[in-house]
Structure 1
Amino acid sequence: MSDQQTELTLKSWQERQEYAEMMQPIIGRLYRTYGVEILVYGRSLLNVDTIHIIKAHRLIERHEGVKLRLRESFPFIEALSKMKLAPARVDLGKLAFNYLFKNAAEGLSIEAYLQCELIDIVDQVDNIPAQDIVLYGFGRIGRLLARLLIERNGSNNKMRLRAVVVRGGRDGDLEKRASLLRRDSVHGPFNGSITVDHENSAIKANGTSIKVIYADAPDKIDYTQYGINDAIIIDNTGIWKDEAGLGLHLKSKGVKKVLLTAPAKGAIKNIVYGVNHQDIVADDLIVCAASCTTNAITPVLKVVNDKFGIRNGHVETVHSYTNDQNLIDNYHSAERRGRSAALNMVLTSTGAAKAVAKALPELAGKLTGNAIRVPTPNVSMAIMNLNLATTTSKDELNSFLLEQALHSELQAQIDYTASTEIVSTDLVGSRYAGVVDSQATIVDGDRAVLYVWYDNEFGYSCQVVRVAEKMAGQQLLNLPK
């Protein structure tokens, strides 16, 4: 490369950085002022650095084959900053790409085009009420839920984390809870500031005061004494899984609804957001967000079944070890799980394949499943061996799944990668329910094998938050449609 080419490359990079730096305050202001979250092809730009903004734009070329430069998308976000909007998720990348490369504007100016595309939220009154959230339990999922709720701080934040409930506190308990929220061996440091408020028995995180309540039973708490009313309790302890147990929460003052972060027993609705979240009605007091694996596989199974039909199949889960297993060999009531999780692959059962039918009844009785726990702390994979009702090809199936990931109603649940080098740690922090590994797809006539990665902690937690939003009546529009 010549000196001139080197100089041009550097200049191009600096230009992208400058535009990303100009976008950052607008992105933050749109969220804090109007509750508008800006995305680029499904990637949220809220609270990200300039490099993430640049990388999100690069994804467009990978998917569409055409570059969308930051200098081309900047006029659109600049125009958005001058509009009065209601809360929504607005995809800047799709708006700009459709206008510039798909002739969606029909001769309109950028401002007029945005008025048309965002007509549902332009000059609309924000009438979405804020919702109090309490986390019952503060383990792996509880702390990730806290991170997700805290990162959306601002006057327009609709999901307000008010408290966490844990068992009896010893000396130094607050500091230890705060430290576990501040530092995570898998997901890295907390993005912000965390301090301990001993006087109020609270953890302060990025301006949010989170009351730490000590209790030994879910029906023994008066949340109203802490100013918490009509709260949604997100139970992530895994202790209570049926209506009788989870119903104990509803006996505490200040509680309106309960959301379980594990597979439920009995008649409780098992919800996979994106697939059957519309089954949630205002009268539902107890709802379950299913399991991480069920959330990972059901969206992909739904779109494949809708397009090609699924006669039957088997789902094998290669799952990271969890806190339920032993670090070294010791007694465990379950078969095989007493053996060291860090040293062994452990064959175990999973109800995820059968649980799919609770969210997708048309697949009832068509799937079997099993699981292998492996010595990694996070990110798992589902291998789906499917017998289809119609024949297809690898290219056709992958193209269809890419389209679903980019433009379907399941675009927040299904992600897609064409990388030949991706491994499990690359998916830590993925906000999708599952990520289709297109390079591993196998198709032979009417038989298909799909490999779907998923961050069984963070990706699942994102799904839980979406279910909680639906329970609170806070389902935001995704624009453009």
Structure 2
Amino acid sequence: MTATEDSFTNWKTREEIAESMIPIIGKLHRERDVTVLLHSRSLVNKSVVSILKTHRFARQIAGEELSVTETLPFLHALTALDLGPSQIDLGMLAATYRSDERGLPVADFTAEAVAGATGANKTERRESRDVVLYGFGRIGRLLARLLIEKTGSGNGLRLRAIVVRQAAGQDLVKRASLLRRDSIHGQFQGTITVDEANSRIIANGNEIQVIYSDDPTTVDYTAYGIKDAILIDNTGRWRDREGLSKHLRPGIGKVVLTAPGKGDVPNIVHGVNHDTIKPDEQIISCASCTTNAIVPPLKAMADEYGVLRGHVETVHSFTNDQNLLDNYHNSDRRGRSAPLNMVITETGAASAVTKALPDLQAKITGSSIRVPVPDVSIAILNLQLGRATSRQEVLDHLRDVSLTSPLRRQIDFITAPDAVSSDFIGSRHASIVDAGATKVEGDNAILYLWYDNEFGYSSQVIRVVQHVSGVEYPTYPAPAV
């Protein structure tokens, strides 16, 4: 057999193994509310090629080989256990098994590693939690996609309604079409139909009521069978407690804002300070996309090296807040054509750091430049550290954080020397460390952090909503603290 034939045979074998994993992953998700991950990347509803690519990428960033032939035995071991709702990371199972010197069989090791999710220890399934989207723009539609994707067995988050202002002419059909097709994020994964008679969009079996209103105080959500729902305001129209309290109507239990909150509204970055949310807190903010991008790596650096001061410069894709062509705008520069110019503008991300990391004493400044790309931004984080270090030490630290720490869903790590912004469209991480661009000299470190300011941020919002709803299930093996 030639080398070419041998390579092809190996690929076909791995394809067959990945194909056999799909029904197992699907059944665990539907019947037991178990989400199978690979180094924090979900394998639920993924294709054969996607599963293989995820394995390949994982072994690239881990620096060690990881194949479906290694992870399949752990997946089989999971099916034999009395698992409760949880997230099980096959990549972490394989990595910890390698470092374990006891020589246990895979089945025994797996049972021990996920013991907190089995038998008498397992978390009981919770009732589904209603979710309402107030607004249906770029972020709103991506949140809808994620919520529909995560419906799973029906015991998680359920998107029940969307509240929008009624527009003239086939409003419902056009909104459904925008959900179905996205110029940046591609086609909706599933089926969408429109029930105009009842003002509903049905997406993958989820009946979503479309409520027309321009005033949140006029909506009675209980009239639609909605109870104790989490309302996600993605309009940015109200940002303080007084304004957001208008949403606390019959049927609504909590309000989550997809913009920086003002006044005493808590600004939450999942993975960093989500555990500070008080159980009785009804109004919270998920801060901004840039805050979510810089705070997790800033925390990772501060915890390891200390941070004395820093500056963040964001090179940000243009948004709907800017004009397509030169026209009047309340802002001095945002009125100039977004697709034709680089536009210097302000960012509140640096000042928002203190809300998410109140113990960080370092002064962080920031500025931003909007550039003519429709999605994916980069934050350049320039830090003076508390001690001198080396480039390799920093990279090793951040790679470990991205793989094994509690921040592994927030921080990703890439070594590809030819990576560009479009490569990160659809990334679910809050930020991605570009290893090749990282610069370290003595106590000065400069990190280049990519982030999908739409999809990555939306993923962070959903994590916060899962947390406050009580359907954010624990991950096993537990990440290193």
Q: Does 1:109 align with 2:112?
A: no
Among candidates 423, 427, 438, match of residue 424 of structure 2: 427
Any residues of structure 2 matched to 1:122-201 within 5 Å, and which?
A: 122-123=118-119, 124=122, 126-201=124-199
Any residues of structure 2 matched to 1:66-465 within 5 Å, and which?
A: 66-99=64-97, 101-103=98-100, 106-123=102-119, 124=122, 126-250=124-248, 252-363=249-360, 366-465=363-462
CA contact (8 A) 2:381 2:447 kept: yes
Runs of 5+ in structure 2 lacking a partner? Answer: none
Q: CA deviation at 1:125?
A: 5.2
Q: Given the superposition, is the C-alpha separation of residues 334 and 125 from structure 1 closer, same or farther in structure 2, using an over 3 Å criterion?
A: closer
CA contact (8 A) 1:261 1:289 kept: yes
1:274-298: CA deviation from partner (whole Å, max 9, x where unpaired): 1110111111000000000000000
CA contact (8 A) 1:381 1:454 kept: yes
Among candidates 35, 38, 41, match of residue 40 of structure 1: 38
Match of 1:65 in 2: 63
AA of the residue aligned to 2:46: V
1:20-52: CA deviation from partner (whole Å, max 9, x where unpaired): 110011111110011111111111101111111
Query: What is the distance in 1 between the residues matched to 2:398 and 2:374?
Result: 28
CA contact (8 A) 1:235 1:258 kept: yes
Query: What is the distance in 1 between the residues matched to 2:244 and 2:283?
Result: 7
1:203-251: CA deviation from partner (whole Å, max 9, x where unpaired): 111111111000111111111111100001000001000111100001x
Q: Given the superposition, is the C-alpha separation of residues 153 and 474 from structure 1 closer, same or farther in structure 2, using an over 3 Å criterion?
A: closer
Query: What is the distance in 2 between the residues matched to 1:196 and 1:188?
Result: 20
SS of the aligned residue for 2:115 comes to coil
Q: Given the superposition, is the C-alpha separation of residues 309 and 330 from structure 1 closer, same or farther in structure 2, using an over 3 Å criterion?
A: same
SS of the aligned residue for 1:313 comes to strand
Aligned residue-pair number: 476
Q: CA deviation at 1:156?
A: 4.1
1:41-83: CA deviation from partner (whole Å, max 9, x where unpaired): 1111011111111112123432343322212221221221232
TM-score w.r.t. length of structure 2: 0.97
Match of 1:5 in 2: 3
CA contact (8 A) 1:169 1:214 kept: no
Q: Given the superposition, is the C-alpha separation of residues 67 and 401 from structure 1 closer, same or farther in structure 2, using an over 3 Å criterion?
A: same
Deviates more, 1:88-97 or 1:59-68: 59-68
Q: Given the superposition, is the C-alpha separation of residues 306 and 91 from structure 1 closer, same or farther in structure 2, using an over 3 Å criterion?
A: same
Match of 1:16 in 2: 14
Deviates more, 1:84-93 or 1:106-115: 106-115
SS of the aligned residue for 2:178 comes to helix
CA contact (8 A) 2:310 2:362 kept: no
Q: CA deviation at 1:343?
A: 0.2
CA contact (8 A) 2:434 2:447 kept: yes
Q: CA deviation at 1:435?
A: 0.3
Q: CA deviation at 1:448?
A: 1.1
Query: What is the distance in 1 between the residues matched to 2:226 and 2:353?
Result: 35
Query: What is the distance in 1 between the residues matched to 2:398 and 2:65?
Result: 22
1:126-160: CA deviation from partner (whole Å, max 9, x where unpaired): 24232100000000000000000111233244111
Query: What is the distance in 1 between the residues matched to 2:242 and 2:191?
Result: 39
Query: What is the distance in 2 between the residues matched to 1:72 and 1:469?
Result: 31
Deviates more, 1:38-47 or 1:234-243: 38-47
Deviates more, 1:122-131 or 1:207-216: 122-131
Query: What is the distance in 2 between the residues matched to 1:345 and 1:79?
Result: 53
AA of the residue aligned to 2:177: S
CA contact (8 A) 1:88 1:476 kept: yes
Query: What is the distance in 2 between the residues matched to 1:208 and 1:316?
Result: 41
TM-score w.r.t. length of structure 1: 0.97
AA of the residue aligned to 2:396: S
Q: Percent of aligned pairs with the same residue?
A: 53
CA contact (8 A) 1:280 1:470 kept: no
Query: What is the distance in 2 between the residues matched to 1:249 and 1:327?
Result: 32
Q: Given the superposition, is the C-alpha separation of residues 217 and 253 from structure 1 closer, same or farther in structure 2, using an over 3 Å criterion?
A: same
Query: What is the distance in 2 between the residues matched to 1:435 and 1:89?
Result: 22
Query: What is the distance in 1 between the residues matched to 2:33 and 2:247?
Result: 30
